[in-house]
Chains A and B, each alone.
Chain A
Amino acid sequence: MIKVVDLHKSFGDLHVLKGIDLNISKGEVVVIIGPSGSGKSTVLRCLNRLEEANKGQIFFKGVSITDNKNDINIVRQNMGMVFQNFNLFPHMSVLENITLAPIRLNKMTEKEAEETGLKLLKRVGLKDKANNYPSQLSGGQKQRVAIARALAMSPDLMLFDEPTSALDPEMVGEVLEVIKQLAADGMTMVIVTHEMNFAKEVADRVIFMDDGVILEEASPDELFNNPRNSRTQDFLRRVIF
């Protein structure tokens, strides 16, 4: 589904990604963990070109997305992204947030988009909030709407950038539940998170990153119970499960 070859990224003098290689196949759930500043989020943001890579290539379903010849807007329609801070559009109702892209991009008529939107809201347990505005929702509800919004374009791949980091602890569960449901439905996903138990539960493969490189990747069972790299061991010793 997605293939990353020798990805490099710098912010000014700061070399954030130092050669990332990554292959993700259809239906796979990949969780990226690692200390703050290790470059996890940057990898994710390079995958849909919210950050432009300085060097390296990314292929999505065989098409190079780092090549400017290919329209990134079309590529992004097939990649949903969920942000740490939800980034719902505050001037639009919950339903309008979800139907905006399908309608504007002529993927659906207004009526179809609304039907799909309501179906998605039902799926994330928020059908009764369709006409509310984001400011009237809790953090957990906002994030569930954001997931529904990303799903509205029926993407092939979902990117989650620390989806629970900005949430109050009691709201984390409801969001993770929705993501687990998606995983169970066979959605291909890349998730950056600090929730180790969740990573264990949902991941097919866990990637440990530090200082701009992938240090270790393995099944959750192996990586959490039997980490080989000393820095992985060190990191896992320090995080609280």
Chain B
Amino acid sequence: MDFSFVKDYYMFFINGARITILLAIFTIIFGVILGVMFALMRISRNPLLKGIAVAYIEFIRGTPIMVQLFIFYYGLSFAGITFPDISVLGSNLNDLMAGIVALSINSAAYVAEIVRAGIQAIDKGQMEAARSLGLSYSISMRTIILPQAIRNILPALGNEFIAIIKESSIVSIIGIHELMYSNSTVRGITFRPFEPLIITALVYFVITFTLSTLVRALERRLETVD
């Protein structure tokens, strides 16, 4: 094995990692916001909201992420949604948005199921006690149920965040210059198919390991509260 290419091309991996992290940050933010929203719809008594949430979750979980990605890649412009034609860290903003939207929509379905399970694991008496004081459903949810649910679901949510980072490698196929794309670039320049993959795997691992360590630290902090 020959890793001498690293000193010439290490910037490809660094820039790729930047885009991967950027994708992950936005996907996690939107995925969690949408996921909580769909979880609340899923447990709501309103049959319409519930129906929409169930259909969404089942459809997203039952179709390949690659198909979803292409649907948004072509679909956004098809629907007339375009973004300024500028470059962000070497990637076209339109491509990047399609990637973020597809990953977020995909992740939200999984987050929704995690959040739903977390909410339903909270003793029914908590909601009843809050409501018996005269607090509305939404205040009870925000002040009593969700803060407790977050503690329960943090490990599962951490796993989902790591899955997001790993799955973000798929957006290389729509030309976003993230880590996997950089891997291909370096392979093309050096004619070495194997060694760049080792570097790429290591970079992914450093990112996911850092994240899982952070999540574990957060879990410990929340545990000490009670």
A interface residue numbers (CB < 8 A to B)? 48, 50, 73-81, 83, 85, 87-91, 100-101, 104-105, 133-135, 146, 149-150, 153
Q: How far is the CA of A102 from the CA of B45 in the complex (A)?
A: 28
**Contact: B132 with A76, CB < 8 Å?**
yes
Taking a contact as CB atoms closer than 8 A, the residue among A85, A91, A149 that contacts B133 in the complex is A149
**Contact: B226 with A89, CB < 8 Å?**
no
- Residues in A with CB closer than 8 Å to B139 are 104
Taking a contact as CB atoms closer than 8 A, the residue among B125, B136, B143, B151 that contacts A87 in the complex is B125
Q: How far is the CA of A77 from the CA of B132 in the complex (A)?
A: 8
**Contact: B225 with A91, CB < 8 Å?**
yes
- Residues in A with CB closer than 8 Å to B143 are 100, 104
**Contact: B135 with A101, CB < 8 Å?**
yes
**Contact: B131 with A76, CB < 8 Å?**
yes
Q: In chain B between 117 and 152, which residues have their CB closer than 8 angstroms to a CB of chain A?
A: 123, 125-126, 128-136, 139, 143-144, 147-148, 151
Contact status of A73 and B135, CB under 8 A, knowing A87-B123, A89-B126, A90-B226 = yes
**How would you classify the secondary structure of chain B's contact residues: helix, strand, loop or mixed?**
helix
Instruction: List 16 extra interface pairs beyond A50-B132, A89-B148, A101-B133, CB under 8 A.
Output: A73-B131, A81-B129, A81-B132, A83-B128, A83-B132, A85-B125, A87-B125, A87-B126, A89-B144, A101-B135, A104-B135, A104-B139, A104-B143, A105-B134, A135-B226, A146-B129
B interface residue numbers (CB < 8 A to A)? 123, 125-126, 128-136, 139, 143-144, 147-148, 151, 225-226
Q: How far is the CA of A91 from the CA of B226 in the complex (A)?
A: 6
- Residues in A with CB closer than 8 Å to B126 are 87, 89
Closest to B122 in A: A90
Closest to B147 in A: A91
Count A/B pairs, Cβ under 8 Å.
68
- Residues in B with CB closer than 8 Å to A89 are 126, 129-130, 144, 148
Q: How far is the CA of A146 from the CA of B144 in the complex (A)?
A: 15
Closest to B134 in A: A77
Closest to A134 in B: B226
- Residues in A with CB closer than 8 Å to B148 are 89-91
Distance between A81 CB and nearest chain B CB, rounded to angstroms: 4
Distance between B66 CB and nearest chain A CB, rounded to angstroms: 41
Closest to B125 in A: A87
Q: How far is the CA of A123 from the CA of B60 in the complex (A)?
A: 55
Kindly list the 8 A-B residue pairs having the minimum CB-CB distance in the complex, ordered from nearest: A77-B134, A87-B129, A101-B133, A87-B125, A81-B132, A76-B134, A133-B226, A73-B134
Q: How far is the CA of A90 from the CA of B126 in the complex (A)?
A: 9
Closest to B140 in A: A104
Q: How far is the CA of A101 from the CA of B133 in the complex (A)?
A: 6
- Residues in A with CB closer than 8 Å to B132 are 48, 50, 76, 79-81, 83, 150
Taking a contact as CB atoms closer than 8 A, the residue among B129, B130, B131, B134 that contacts A153 in the complex is B134
Q: How far is the CA of A77 from the CA of B135 in the complex (A)?
A: 8
Closest to B130 in A: A89
**Contact: A150 with B128, CB < 8 Å?**
no
Q: How far is the CA of A76 from the CA of B135 in the complex (A)?
A: 8
